[in-house]
Amino acid sequence: MQKQNRAFYNRRSARLRDYDYSQAGLYFVTICTFQKACRFGEFRGGTLILNELGKLVQEIWLHIPVSRSNTTLDKFVVMPNHVHGIIGILENENTGKCATATPSAKTLPSGSLGATIGQFKSVVTKQSRALPDPPKPPIWQRNYHEHIIRNETELNEIRKYILENPAHWTNDDLYVD
């Protein structure tokens, strides 16, 4: 096995060990573009102008609860090289377990946060091929960052962060000039 392949298979997961990401709750996610390239738009005069790919990302994000009935969306923002958003995983009232949607990932429970993000990234990639100027793959960085939202105070702080993120772009950890 080559050294590069060994490093790929020995990566540590950023997920909490033994946490069930298909259980009901709110999750703050950040999904970055491959090599953090600014692919979704740019700031002009302090305003974020989404390009066609950025508009597609926004449209597909808003469609998540339609394609996955076990999800809800809260605040989100598409930035030039990443997406921040709050996703809710709903509990099925009849069973007390997470409601499931159509499976989209072979290794993830169909109602999980990982399967939801995987489907989102996949749909963006596939539909982007129909754009007038289709982006060269890959669009997305492998994986994503998530934070389990534990209480109302945290939820409100994250909402504020998401809404104010465009105004702080040049100070953002993901800022690329």
**How confident is the model over 96-138, as pLDDT tens digits?**
444 444 443 345 667 899 999 999 999 999 999 999 999 998 9
Put the strands of the sheet holding 82-89 in their side by side order: 71-78, 82-89, 25-32, 145-149
pTM of the model: 0.83
Residue 132 is given by DSSP the state: S
pLDDT the model gives residue 176: 81
Is position 163 within any domain?
yes
Is position 13 within any domain?
no
Is position 76 within any domain?
yes
Task: Identify which of 54, 1, 64, 58 has the alpha carbon closest to the alpha carbon of residue 27.
Answer: 64
How many domains does one find in the chain?
Answer: 1
Spatial contact of 40 and 78, defined as CB atoms under 8 Å apart: yes
Is position 64 within any domain?
yes
Is position 127 within any domain?
yes
- Cα(20)–Cα(2) distance, rounded to whole angstroms? 33
Give the domain range for residue 144: 24-167
Q: What is the CATH number of the domain that holds 130?
A: 3.30.70.1290
Is position 19 within any domain?
no
With a cut of 70, say whether residue 15 has pLDDT above it.
no
